[in-house]
Structure 1
Amino acid sequence: MIDKFNTGIRKVPAWTIYVIGGLYPFWLLWQGLSGGLGVDPAKAMEHLLGERALQLLILGLAITPMRKHLGINLIKFRRAIGVSAFFLVFAHLLVWLVLDVQLLGQIWADIIKRPYITIGMLAFVLMLPLAVTSNNWSVRKLGRRWRSLHKVTYGVCLLGGLHFVMLAKGFQLEPLMYLGTVIILLMLRLNLNSFSIARNRA
């Protein structure tokens, strides 16, 4: 069953992830303009873009554990998933800046005074070098440093989960489930990395 899935998924081109990720914000914009996002379409767009970005980040984090423990191989999509996640985070930030806050002076005040926004902005800043170096030229140029740089993804995922939990008002199970999933995946990744180091030393 897993072999059939891997054989089938290999036939799907990675560019489909870019297309879906690239069109999603515009589809939400259309939904907002046509009344499909409720009475506050800007807030709805902001939330949906952020949540989809976090889902993609978690999926990217899960790729190695899924291959190791379940035999599911999505490695060919990892770069497309990461770049699409960055694009959705950027769109999420843009909606907040343009449709929500709007006032330039208020933007900096919100970043400083609201911890969940501070954490979200930190995650976005950390994603910038990852997005810029998500290409074959950077992989060749940076060599082993590229892999070390892209481990920053771990911190980005954790910050994204914290951002969602802190954003939620009162006790909400969904954000806690996202954060819990990130923590579990990080533990699995750290265990895999520790195992790989120990095996190389043996």
Structure 2
Amino acid sequence: MQAINQTLRRIPVWAVYLMGALPAPWLFYLGLTGGLGIEPIEALEHRYGELALQLLIAGLAITSLRRFVGLNLMKFRRAIGVLTFVYVSLHLLVWLVLDVQLPSQIWADILKRPYITVGMGAFLLLLPLTATSNNWSVRRLGPRWRRLHWLVYPAALLGGLHYVMLAKGFQIEPLIYLAAIVILLALRLPIPGLSLQSNTADSA
């Protein structure tokens, strides 16, 4: 594992940002050119949301991978968090601009459709996390920064629940995502006799 960690340390963070951002324009291009099927807007909205959830789960897994396996991906966690918010925002923008379009209908949907209410709640919880994902905020907030970034836990649960509620009929995939989130959050509970090397980095 030490050799793997040494290799990971040589990978620049910008490469994670680049690789993580590439699917966004590609999926949009597919939507424009008919590559996403007969309902491109719905498909694009779904793909962006699914990528956001996958990145959110990846970010949650980083601490557990270091804690239980010894794999150190901590240097990439901020990039994964920012990319998560980017795809959540794209998911939301496709719904706002391409799907619903009418401002009055947007507000009505947020109030009347529970899965949209839950999804919007997750988005709002992620806003302060993204705004403070910088070194200046870490220095400025001090210990409060870590407590603030605990908001990722309810945001993740709401995101997984949003996907389950959005699914039409019984679908196993949304349940797998939600189960993964629950398991990763459960793994963060303190275990007697198990020390966590990066205790200060266990916030998000």
User: Is this contact kept in 2: 1:21–1:87, CA < 8 A?
Assistant: no
Structure 2 Cα separation of the partners of residues 195 and 11 of structure 1: 28
Q: Which residue of 1 aligns with 2:139?
A: 140
The residue aligned with 1:88 is: 87
CA distance in 2, matches of 1:150, 1:46: 26
* Shift in alpha-carbon separation, 1:112–1:196, aligned structure 2, 3 A: farther
CA distance in 2, matches of 1:36, 1:27: 10
How does the TM-score come out when normalised to structure 1?
0.92
Distance 1:62 1:50 in 2: 18
Aligned-residue CA RMSD in angstroms? Answer: 1.9
Q: What is the CA distance between 1:19 and its match in structure 2?
A: 1.9
Q: Percent identity?
A: 61
- Listed one character per residue, the Cα deviations across residues 40-85 of structure 1 (whole Å, up to 9, x for unaligned) are 1111110010001001111111111110111111100000000000
Q: Give me the whole-angstrom Cα distance separating, in 2, the residues matched to 1:195 and 1:113.
A: 46
Return the alpha-carbon distance in structure 1 between the equivalents of residues 141 and 195 of structure 2.
22
Q: Does 1:185 align with 2:184?
A: yes
Q: How does 1:146-165 map to 2 (within 5 A)?
A: 146-165=145-164
Segments ≥4 residues shifted beyond 3 Å: 192-197
Is the CA contact (8 Å cut-off) linking 1:66 and 1:72 kept in structure 2?
Answer: yes
Q: CA deviation at 1:21?
A: 3.0
One-letter code aligned to 1:76: K
Structure 2 gap segments, 5+ residues each:
200-204
Structure richer in helix, relative to its length: 1
CA distance, structure 1, for counterparts of residue 74 and residue 44 of structure 2: 29
Deviation at 1:17, TM superposition (A): 2.1
> C-alpha distance in 1, partners of 2:109/2:83?
26
Q: Is 1:45 aligned to 2:44, yes or no? A: yes
> How far did residue 196 of structure 1 move?
6.5
Write the distance in 2 (CA, Å) between the matches of 1:51 and 1:189.
Answer: 23
**10-19 or 186-195, which moves further after superposition?**
186-195
Q: CA deviation at 1:132?
A: 0.4
Determine the C-alpha separation between the residues in 2 that align with 1:63 and 1:158. Answer: 17
Q: Which residue of 1 aligns with 2:202?
A: none
**Cα distance, 1:195 vs structure 2:** 6.5
Q: Give the distance between the partners of 1:107 and 1:20, measured in 2 at CA.
A: 32
* 2: CA distance, partners of 1:193 / 1:50: 37
Structure 1: state its 5+ residue gaps: none
Cα distance, 1:4 vs. partner? 2.5
Q: How many Å separate the matches in 1 of 2:192 and 2:56?
A: 19
Aligned residues: 197
* Structure 1: distance between partners of 2:78 and 2:192: 20
Query: Structure 1's 91 and 192: CA in aligned 2 closer, same or farther, altered over 3 A?
Result: farther
